[in-house]
Amino acid sequence: MAANKGREIPGLLFFQGRDLPSGLAVKRSGARLDWASVSDTLPGMTRLTGRSAFLRLLIEEGVSHLFGNPGTTELPIMEVVPDYPQLQFVLGLHESVVVGMADGYARASNRLAAANVHVAPGLGNAMGALYNAKFSGSPIILTAGQQEQGHGLLEPLLYAPLVPVAQPFVKWAVEVTRAEDLPLVMHRAAKVALTPPTGPVFISLPGDVLEEEAELELGASTRVDARMRPSDTALAMLARRLLAAKNPVILAGHELGVHDAFAEAVALTELLGAGVFHQTVPYAAQFPSEHPACLGALTRNQKAVRAALEPFDLLVCLGADLLRMSVYSPVDPLPPGMPVIHVSEREWELGKNQPTEIAIQANVKETLAALLPLLRTQRSAGAASQAAQRLAALAPRNWSAQQGRARIAALEAAEETPIDPRFLMLRIAEALPREAVVVEEALTSSLTLPALVPQRDPKSYFGLASGGLGFALPGAVGAALALPGRPIVAVVGDGAALYGIQALWTAAHLKLPITYVIANNRSYRILKERLVSMRKSERFVGMDLRDPEIDFVSLARSMGVAARRVVDPQDVAPALREAMRDGGPQLVEVMIADGFGG
In this predicted structure, the answer to whether residue 29 has a pLDDT above a threshold of 50 is no
Per-residue pLDDT, 5: 36
In this predicted structure, the answer to whether residue 274 has a pLDDT above a threshold of 60 is yes
CATH of domain 399-591: 3.40.50.970
In this predicted structure, the answer to whether residue 548 has a pLDDT above a threshold of 80 is yes
DSSP 340: E
Rounded to 10 degrees, the C-alpha dihedral 93/97/101/104 comes to -160
Per-residue pLDDT, 34: 35
- Write the DSSP string, 416-444: -SSBPHHHHHHHHHHH--TT-EEEEE-GG
Instruction: Name 255's Cβ contacts closer than 8 Å, sequence gap at least 6.
Output: 261, 318, 319, 320, 344, 345, 346, 364
pLDDT tens-digit series, residues 276-297: 999 999 999 999 999 999 999 9
Q: What are 252's strand-pairing partners?
A: 278, 318
| Interval 143-159 mean pLDDT | 94
DSSP 156: -
Half-sphere exposure of 389 (CA within 13 A, CB side): 8
Q: Name the pairing type of β-strands 488-493 and 437-441.
A: parallel
What are the sequence ranges of the domains in the chain?
1-43, 46-217, 232-394, 399-591
- The pTM score is 0.91
| Residues 185 and 22: beta-carbon distance below 8 Å | no
User: Is residue 578 exposed (0-12), middle (13-18) or buried (19+ Cβ within 10 Å)?
Assistant: middle
Residue from 511, 451, 32, 76 nearest 282 by CA: 451
pLDDT tens-digit series, residues 390-440: 999 999 999 999 999 999 999 999 999 999 999 999 999 999 999 999 999
| Interval 213-224 mean pLDDT | 95
In this predicted structure, the answer to whether residue 22 has a pLDDT above a threshold of 50 is no
Rounded Cα–Cα distance for residues 458 and 554 (Å): 35
Rounded Cα–Cα distance for residues 157 and 174 (Å): 22
Please identify, in words, the CATH class of the domain defined by 46-217.
Answer: alpha beta
Q: In what order do the strands lie in the sheet with 586-591?
A: 461-462, 437-441, 488-493, 514-520, 586-591, 562-566
**3-state class (DSSP) for residue 454:** coil
In this predicted structure, the answer to whether residue 35 has a pLDDT above a threshold of 70 is no
Q: With cut-offs at 50, 70 and 90, classify the pLDDT of residue 101.
A: very high
Instruction: Name 23's Cβ contacts closer than 8 Å, sequence gap at least 6.
Output: 38, 41, 42
In Å, how far from its chain's centre is CA 319?
A: 15
Rounded to 10 degrees, the C-alpha dihedral 388/393/396/397 comes to -90
| Interval 214-233 mean pLDDT | 95
Asked if 46-217 and 232-394 have one fold, the answer is: yes
In Å, how far from its chain's centre is CA 274?
A: 29
Per-residue pLDDT, 40: 41
Per-residue pLDDT, 352: 96
Per-residue pLDDT, 598: 85
pLDDT tens-digit series, residues 466-506: 999 999 999 999 999 999 999 999 999 999 999 999 999 99
Residue from 418, 444, 420 nearest 526 by CA: 444
Residues in the chain: 598
Query: Could you tell me where the beta strands, DSSP code E, fall in 423-499?
Result: 437-441, 461-462, 488-493
Helix (H) or strand (E) holding 590: strand 586-591
Q: How large is the greatest C-alpha to C-alpha distance in the chain, in angstroms?
A: 91
Q: With cut-offs at 50, 70 and 90, classify the pLDDT of residue 330.
A: very high
Radius of gyration of the chain (CA): 27
Q: With cut-offs at 50, 70 and 90, classify the pLDDT of residue 441.
A: very high
Rounded Cα–Cα distance for residues 392 and 172 (Å): 48
**3-state class (DSSP) for residue 559:** coil
Please identify, in words, the CATH class of the domain defined by 232-394.
Answer: alpha beta
In this predicted structure, the answer to whether residue 18 has a pLDDT above a threshold of 70 is no
| Interval 177-181 mean pLDDT | 96
Rounded Cα–Cα distance for residues 435 and 454 (Å): 11
Rounded to 10 degrees, the C-alpha dihedral 578/584/589/590 comes to 40
| Interval 53-80 mean pLDDT | 97
Query: Could you tell me where the beta strands, DSSP code E, fall in 263-352?
Result: 275-278, 294-297, 314-318, 340-344
**3-state class (DSSP) for residue 530:** helix
| Residues 132 and 100: beta-carbon distance below 8 Å | yes
Rounded Cα–Cα distance for residues 123 and 254 (Å): 28
Q: What are 34's strand-pairing partners?
A: 5, 27
Rounded Cα–Cα distance for residues 43 and 56 (Å): 19
Instruction: Name 78's Cβ contacts closer than 8 Å, sequence gap at least 6.
Output: 70, 89
Per-residue pLDDT, 42: 56
In this predicted structure, the answer to whether residue 73 has a pLDDT above a threshold of 70 is yes
Half-sphere exposure of 496 (CA within 13 A, CB side): 31
Rounded Cα–Cα distance for residues 145 and 130 (Å): 17
Helix (H) or strand (E) holding 175: strand 173-175
Arithmetic mean of pLDDT over the chain: 92
Half-sphere exposure of 242 (CA within 13 A, CB side): 32
What is the separation, in whole angstroms, between the first and last Cα of the chain?
A: 68
Query: Could you tell me where the beta strands, DSSP code E, fall in 329-405?
Result: 340-344, 358-361
Rounded Cα–Cα distance for residues 268 and 290 (Å): 16
- Write the DSSP string, 15-65: ETTEEEETT-EEEEETTEEEEE--GGGSTTEEEEEHHHHHHHHHHHTT--E
Per-residue pLDDT, 439: 98
